Every structure is written in C-alpha cells, then in structure tokens.
Amino acid sequence: MCKKWVKPDSADAHHTTSATPALITRAEHGISRKQFSPNAIKVLYRLKDGGYDAYLVGGCIRDILMGIQPKDFDVVTNATPEEVKKLFRNCRLIGRRFRLAHIVFGREIIEVATMRGHHEADERKNATSQSSEHGQLLRDNVYGTIEEDAQRRDFSINALYYSINDFSIHDFARGVEAINARKIELIGDPETRYREDPVRMLRAVRFATKLDMEIAPGTKKPIYELADLLGNIPPARLFEETLKLFLNGKAVENYLQLREFGLFKQLFPALDDILEQSETGFEARFIEQMFANTDTRINQDKKVTPAFVYAALLWFPLQQRTQQIVEQQGMSEFDAFNQAMNQVLSQNAQHVSVPKRFTLGARDIWHIQMRLDKRSGQRAYRLSLQPRFKAAYDFLLLRVESGEDAQQALADWWTEYLKSDVTGQKELVKNLGQSDGKKPRRRYRRKPKKKTGDA
C-alpha cells in the first residue's frame, strides 16, 4: 500500500480535500484490473469512448487496498444521468434526491453517479438543490468537477478515484493515509456534513465496525448531540440502513455503538426505553444474543430473515403494550396481544418502516409463540407444519438461551418432538401432562339419549 501524500494547498481545523490530489501510480498501488468487475470496466471504457471522464470510486478502491474483495463497483463521471442513459440500452435512472444511473448486467448493477458540485453553483444548467430548515439536503442534483465531487464525498477513505487512462489512483483527502491509520474521518466540518445527511452518523458506525477502524475524535464528538436528526430521515430509508447494520456480520458491535451514541433510541425508541429501565438486564441479553446468533449465521453464509430480527427488536414493546391493554381495557390476553401487534408495528413504522412482507413474518413468529404450549391431539403436528414454525422455534430457543428459564421445559419438549419419528411424536403428545406432573385430562362421552317409542 502506498503512503505517498501531496500536502494540500490549504488546511483548516477540519479534514479537507486537496485541489492537487496525491497521484498513486499503477506500480505503487499494485491493483490489477482483474480485481475489478468486468462489467464495471466495460462501463468505464464506453463512457471514455463517448468522450466523458469516468472513474471507479469509493468503497471498491478502499476495499481492494485493504485486501477485501468488493461486492459493489461504483462509477463516477462528468456525463449527466440523461447522457449516460443514451450510451447504455440497459440503463435505468433512479432517485429524486440523488439522480443516479443503474447499468444492469443480469444480477449485477453498476451504479453510475454524475460528479457532484457545490450548492452555491446551483444556477448551473440542469442543477437542482434544496435544503431543509435543519440543513438537510432534500434535493442534490448539482453537478461539478472531480475536485468538487471529492469535497462532497463523506469520508476520506471514500475519496479515492481509479482512472483507466493511466491506471492511477487519485487520492484527494489523504484517504490512503486514513486507511493506514485505521481512522474514519469526515471530509469538511462534521456538524455541517451530519446536518446535510444525518444518515452519515449510521455510516460512520458501520464503516468503523466493518473495516475494524476507529471513528476519529472530531468525527465522533458531534454524533452525541445530533443523533435526534435521524428523526428527519424517511422511515423507509432508515429500514435500508438498519438492514446494512444488522445483516453484515457485525451486528453486535453496531448495536452497542448505536446505543452508545444515542442513535438506537432514534430507530427503536420503545425498545430503548425498556432497555434503559430494565432491572434484570434480561432484555439486553436477549437483544445481544439475537445479534450474536445473527452474526454467526451471516459469517457462515447462512440465511437470516429480517422478519426474525425485527420480531426480536419489537418483542418487548409488544409484551409491554399487551399487558397495558389487559390492565386498562380488561381484554383477554389473546385479544390484547392481537391489538398490541397492530399498535406496536404502526408506532415503529414512524421511525423504521419495515416492509409488509417482513412484518407479516414477524406476526407469524409472534402468533406461534402464543400457541407453542398448546400441543394436545393434532395441535403440535399442525403447528409444526406452519411456514414460519422453524423461525418461531428458534425464537423460543433464543428466549431460553437469554435466560427465560420458565420456557426451558417447553423448549426441551419441542426439541425432542422435532428429533422424533412419527411414533415418538405421538408418544410425546400422549404423555403430555404426565411430564408436567399433571393428570391427563379425562374425556367423558355423552350418554346416548333413550329412544322413546309410541305408547
């Protein structure tokens, strides 16, 4: 890895970019084009042949320098999205806040962004910019030069540009130096950058855990004070960001940092309140254990459904709300549970909007928890055929694993039931009640009515 750095023309108290980037040659960085997606290379050359400048940018360059194989390859160009679309038949334009071009190659998508410019220059042709009263960017289609684009990047480690003209890396913000120092640092004034896009606070946490880096003090400090700005972000966008945080194999570390910074409270306020007020610590153990199990599965290339993660995150708010309804309205626990589900999901959607396909899965997991102890007759067999039964069974094991000892016997029974053949399963059902020290319920037949004949 190259440590060459050209000193910026000017410097201030904040981390800045340089008008004269550090130029890291092919011989110095050692990156081969074979490490890039062939489709990304195709996009670069077609843009070049069309008369435009084009670079691979950001995470893909950063990851290769760190010895990590990138999953995505992003391109930046001085062509507008409409000009990109004219060059590629397999192109679709997306986004309003950030106008982007997606070049589709089967399952792979190469994202092409137009170089961003400064907002003071929004009088340029085809440029639109709009900010909220909090300083958040609502529209950001201001186009500019590569130097301006580098200044608009969020973190120094992402302001790295790979050119196919001479196979060099253009390092505008001491990104290579930050990689070597293992520091996550914002470009520009941190408070201003967080106000422009509060999601950058979540990205700082995610990059720090993913890359095994530390958040630089100047980048870290404002997060504690500005965490509530996440309340201005659309809940649907926060769902996508929480997926990246919780399904990347670093969920436990991300969760703990989110809580430390006060960011978790903005995402799941009802659960955060319960965690703060818990006297036993069981709820915290449950959530940490769920994330630990999730990390294990992800790192073993096993599937994890978001429905399970969000069922766990909303389990305690659901139980709390159920109890409140029972006490306040005198409902049965079953009816209160169903009403509480609707309320908890509705309230949570104001912060993190979980798509219906996952909330339906969460509902199934919750419903089955209420039915797991009803095993007589054909009930256990029918319940085990439910599509979400395996997830619900894992949820029960998670409850026991976290310290809910009252469910141990139930979990053991189901574990034995699932391991048994049909004969063994029937025997387990037959012995229900005896294993609990209870007498089996006796069934009585009705006596047939006497037939009355004609007198």
Which residue in 74, 149, 197, 364 is the catalytic one? 74
72 has catalytic annotation? yes
Measure the N-to-C terminal CA separation of the chain; round to a whole number of Å: 110
Candidates 149, 154, 171, 272; catalytic one = 154
> 50: Cβ–Cβ under 8 A, 6 or more apart, which residues?
79, 83, 87
Provide the CA 303 distance to its chain's centre, in angstroms.
14
Pick from 347, 323, 351: nearest CA to 336: 323
Which residue among the candidates 72, 122, 189, 273 is catalytic per the annotation?
72
Q: What is the dihedral angle through the alpha carbons of 41, 47, 53, 57, rounded to the nearest 10 degrees?
A: -40
DSSP strand E in 15-136: where? 22-24, 54-57, 74-77, 91-94, 100-105, 108-114, 128-131
Q: Cβ neighbours of residue 101 under 8 Å, at least 6 residues apart?
A: 81, 84, 85, 88, 91, 92, 93, 94, 111, 112, 113
Q: What is the token pair recorded at 416?
A: 């034995």
* Residue 26 CB-half CA count within 13 A: 7
> What number of other Cβ atoms are within 10 A of residue 196's Cβ?
21
* Spatial contact of 66 and 180, defined as CB atoms under 8 Å apart: no
CA distance 159 to 402: 43
Q: How far apart are CA 94 and CA 112, in angstroms?
A: 11
Catalytic-residue membership of 154: yes
Catalytic, 140? Answer no
SS percent in the chain: helix, strand, coil, step 5:
55, 10, 35
| Catalytic residue set | 72, 74, 154
